[in-house]
A = this chain, B = another copy of it.
Amino acid sequence: MESLRRKTGMLRASGLRLGIGDDCAIFRPSAREDLLLTTDLLIENVHFEHHTHTGRDVGYKALARGLSDIAAMGGAPRFCLVSLAAGAGASERWIRAFFAGLLELAKQTRTALAGGDMARAKQTTCDIVVCGAVPRGRALRRDGARPGDSIYVSGLLGGSALGLETRRGLAWRRHKRPEPRLRLGIFLRERVRASASMDVSDGLSLDLRRLCLASGVSAHIEAAPRFPGASLEQALHGGEDYELLFTAPPRASVPSQFRGLALHRIGIIRKGRPGSVFLNGRRLPALGYDHFRNP
């Protein structure tokens, strides 16, 4: 961590008083903000493989996943903490590449690397915690969708699942380098005043079900915008697209795109059995990725 300490000096976000090198990092919060905290595991042979993913890709993606959760709640990232259990496939060079990829995205998104832990292990496992901030009481949550709200999704779905299958082209890049929708999240909070929001990490069918469960409503959708080449299955149930799924009241003004990223209206929220999702009137099973259901 010693060499990282120097590299992260320039990244000290406003608020971070002490980074890597003591028992704890010290962060001075603003009295006007709520803090958002999320943690995500990235595991060898579950989320990535050493022979197909470079260290740089894995480091980038580890942070991107956490940032996507911050984006989903309309937050701005502040800092992250990274724990890396380095397996046999993670040479010193791989570990350097891992942190280079992570710091590349950290710099782009003004996320300070506040601390972490490293150890040797059999299987490479990375856990990342990202802390973001929103004005007090203004975080976008999953539980605010109301009957009559429209349902939207950003961008295109199924690309990551397609990339995992074909390991080629834009889809493979989408799988390895998902783009956290940070600016969109802030736009949804400040301008659109979305009623609910979350990121599509485990597949639209499962994530929309979760949003509906949290809000106590049902969803009726007509479509899922497909990544070029992706099947309907991949668009509905494929995970790791990291687009934003959100709802907005009928009176809200939602543009058809935001900075070149399409915002598709895919359906409507209705009263009904909490968590139930319908595609063109037929019940859509939640087949997205659940670690403990499909081990």
Q: Which residues of B contact A37 (CB under 8 A)?
A: 24-27, 81, 114-115, 129, 131
Q: Mark A1-41, 1 if CB is under 8 A from B, else 0.
A: 00000000000000001100111111111110111111111
CB distance from A147 to the nearest CB of B (A): 20
A118 touches B40 (CB 8 A): no
Q: Mark A116-146, 1 if CB is under 8 A from B, else 0.
A: 1111111101010101100010010111000
Q: A284 in the interface, Cβ–Cβ < 8 Å?
A: no
Q: In the complex, A73 Cα to B23 Cα: how many Å?
A: 7
CB distance from A172 to the nearest CB of B (A): 22
Tell me whether chain A's interface is mostly helix, strand or loop, or mixed: strand
Q: A69 in the interface, Cβ–Cβ < 8 Å?
A: yes
Q: Which residues of B contact A23 (CB under 8 A)?
A: 38, 69-70, 72-73, 142, 198-199
CB distance from A150 to the nearest CB of B (A): 20
The chain B residue sitting closest to A140, CB to CB, is B23
CB distance from A210 to the nearest CB of B (A): 9
Q: Which residues of B contact A22 (CB under 8 A)?
A: 73, 141-143, 198, 214
Our pick among B31, B73, B125 for the contact of A85 (Cβ within 8 Å) is: B125
Our pick among B21, B43, B117 for the contact of A119 (Cβ within 8 Å) is: B43
Our pick among B28, B69, B119 for the contact of A24 (Cβ within 8 Å) is: B69
Q: In the complex, A170 Cα to B17 Cα: how many Å?
A: 40
The chain B residue sitting closest to A38, CB to CB, is B24
Q: Which residues of B contact A127 (CB under 8 A)?
A: 39, 41, 83, 117, 125, 127
Q: Which residues of B contact A142 (CB under 8 A)?
A: 21-23
Q: A37-B114, A81-B37 are in contact. Are A291 and B24 (CB under 8 A)?
A: no
Q: Which residues of B contact A216 (CB under 8 A)?
A: none
**What 5 A-B pairs are tightest by C-beta distance, nearest first?**
A31-B31, A127-B127, A29-B29, A24-B36, A23-B69
Given A22-B143, A24-B73, 8 new contacts (CB under 8 A): A18-B141, A26-B34, A26-B36, A28-B136, A29-B29, A45-B122, A46-B119, A121-B125
